[in-house]
Amino acid sequence: MSGGGTRRTAVLIVGTALAGVLVAGCGEQAKADAGVGEDVVTTSYRSTGELPERLAGDGTTVVVGAESAATVVRLYEDMRCPVCEDFEEDGGGGALRGMTLSGEVRTEYTLASFLDDRLGGKGSERAANALRAALERGRFIEYHDVLFAHQPEEVVDGYTDDFLLRMASEVAGLRDKEFDAAVRGMKYRDFVTASERAYEADKVPGTPSVAVDGRLLDTRLWDGLFDAATLPMVIRTGGLVAAARSTS
């Protein structure tokens, strides 16, 4: 299907899903419960470097963006996954980042590493460990973006220590002796293992997968995630669906 056809299909499906929420979800009450029409105070940021980052209490979720955000998007990614790279570099990743910067959305990351078992090697685990080390310096999202921008071929175990450190040099203020040691010594191995277990426990179908306000998106909406023009509509629809279901 052409890009234009995919966009039209996604818009049609999103519109149908949204109409279903507002009708089946008890009309005006569903709108009120979902927050439609409410004035929401948001915190916005000028650049990814300003985005707040932290590790959630579960020890595996990396939280990026404003605590006041009305919508929470959970993104499941394996750093070796080429479809994740498609999403981040050519799909809706930039639009999702824009929503996070505006304060509309808070993005939460679960880092999987199952591709190491499928393909051999330890690249996914090493990349996840390095990202956890970057989080300690408030540079998770900047480093995440650099790694996807230079992602090695999936079949090549390209996330070596040397590669990860070379990419870290592209992020101002990230590299020092402690960071380098954390990368080379797999300091956050327990985090990597726990994150993969969290991914498996959530029973998502693969990477990338997206949940909005705790609910995985309907598979019919997935194509809309790979188009910057339709992703915001998909995310907003997913939030309305989650709100309507929670009050039904």
How confident is the model over 112-128, as pLDDT tens digits? 999 999 999 999 999 99
pTM for the model stands at 0.84
The pLDDT assigned to 166 comes to 98
Task: Outline where DSSP puts E strands in the chain.
Answer: 53-55, 62-64, 71-78, 105-112, 209-212, 215-216
Q: Which CATH superfamily hosts domain 43-212? A: Glutaredoxin (3.40.30.10)
> Strands 71-78, 62-64: parallel, antiparallel or unpaired by DSSP?
unpaired
Among residues 57, 143, 134, 70, which one has the least CA distance to residue 102? 70
Q: Kindly state the average pLDDT of the residues 182-192.
A: 98
Alpha-carbon gap, residue 211 to 219, rounded angstroms: 11
Q: Kindly state the average pLDDT of the residues 18-28.
A: 33
Q: What is the overall mean pLDDT for the chain?
A: 86
Percent of the chain scoring above 70 in pLDDT: 80
> SS3 sequence, 62-120?
EEECCCCCCEEEEEEEECCCHHHHHHHHHCCHHHHHHHHHHCCEEEEEEEECCHHHHHC
Q: What is the dihedral of CA 147, 148, 154, 160, to 10 degrees?
A: 0
How confident is the model over 196-248, as pLDDT tens digits? 999 999 999 999 999 999 999 988 888 999 999 999 999 999 877 656 666 55
Alpha-carbon gap, residue 17 to 30, rounded angstroms: 14
